[in-house]
Amino acid sequence: MIDLEVPRKFLPLVERARGVAEEVFRPISRTYDRAEHEYPRELDLLSAVIDGMSSSGAGQGAGASSVVAAVGSGERHPAAPTVRNGSNLSSVLSILETCRGDVGLTLSIPRQGLGNAAIAAVATDEQKARYAGRWAAMAITEPETGSDSGAIRTTAVKDGDEYVLNGEKIYVTSGERADLVVVWATLDRSLGKRAIRSFVVSRANPGLKLVRLEHKLGIRASDTAAFHLDDCRVPAQDLLGDPDITTAGGFGGAMQTFDNTRPLVAAMALGLTRACLDTTTELLADAGVHVDWDRPAHVQHAAAARLLQMEAEYEAAHALTLRAAWMADNGRPNSMEASMAKAKAGRTGVAVSLACVELAGATGYGERELLEKWARDSKILDIFEGTQQIQLLVVARHLLGLSSSQLK
């Protein structure tokens, strides 16, 4: 069963990540919020340290391991011979800490992109080795598809030993800076979701054309790109997964990516929430308002009672996120749990950050503290990797035993 204490082997990783948040990210957070699209050069040294930690086995970034059922696919809670705390949990714990400093900077760390998690989820061993050490962005969203990944219009047509990709992708996190872009495309539109696969495209590919960088409400340190794919030729070996798999299994494999990335996004929201709560608690204490954890909320100051409520929401989201990551590490299907964690943490992050701005008054609304920035950053965590509404829909389908065609 899951233990809510941080595993001893991960304590050094958590401490280092916390140091990064407080000593590296927070001091430069406002600078790169104002200098949108400027690459944070301070991250080059940090990424080298992370690479060294990963190669030594001390920690891993966004490329968490894939979720594979330990027994038959129909069993949700198989009996595992051992209990593991692996790369999914370590990624969640480290990302939670770095996002106490800055979500946009966390997303900008080289070779820790969400596309790396996509590769980890469905790539073959040969592909994982070939893409090792590369920074991968992920391109799913299109102008007319939104949250419906099954409605992707970007096409991939086989031509000899290559696929030719044509289409448009928007809101690609780290799209300009990454070495690779994992592009979702359909092999045959008439087959719907069954024909959707993911392809690894080199950022230097002349058929992958950068259209613009988006100006955003938050996470401004992270570049968000839009691309056109114009007769973009990709070697067949860069179709993620086993090339012998039929189109009937393509979309399920591609969607497995989200079982990896949704707990990571939930961890980002948790880190931001924790930062807001800690800062607001300190500001209120300076003003003479203290939380008494041993007394009922209704007999305390209204601001203290509000903090107690928000702490409870944080703890619930934290437990759900650790559970989703732990299940992945132990080979248990976690699609529902990943969506539950992402939905709860995303919603909590938005609500808590705005409430903390309110509780801090003029200090919260101004730029002297980072609270107003964290409030702006929070909203994307309730949107990307599947909106709040999509997460609740996924959970409902699992609970009711209904397919996507039965419950839309």
Comparing CA positions, the residue from 241, 242, 234 lying closest to residue 166 is 234
Going by DSSP bridges, is the β-strand pair 180-186/136-139 parallel, antiparallel, or unpaired? parallel
Q: 84 and 21 in contact (C-beta within 8 Å)? A: no
Residue 245 DSSP code: S
Q: 18 and 97 in contact (C-beta within 8 Å)? A: yes
Residue 167 DSSP code: E
Comparing CA positions, the residue from 148, 147, 167 lying closest to residue 157 is 167
The count of other CB atoms within 10 Å of the CB of residue 9 is 12
Going by DSSP bridges, is the β-strand pair 136-139/162-173 parallel, antiparallel, or unpaired? unpaired
The count of other CB atoms within 10 Å of the CB of residue 74 is 8
Dist CA 203 CA 119 (whole Å):
15
Q: Give residues with Cβ within 8 angstroms of 153, minimum separation 6.
A: 142, 144, 145, 167, 186, 189
Dist CA 313 CA 85 (whole Å):
25
Q: Give residues with Cβ within 8 angstroms of 61, minimum separation 6.
A: 50, 54, 91, 94, 95, 109, 111, 112, 116
The strand pairing partners of 228, in sequence order, are: 168, 209
Dist CA 28 CA 337 (whole Å):
34
Q: How far is CA 149 from the centre of its chain?
A: 16
List the catalytic residues.
385
Helix, strand, or coil here: 118?
Answer: helix
The count of other CB atoms within 10 Å of the CB of residue 70 is 14
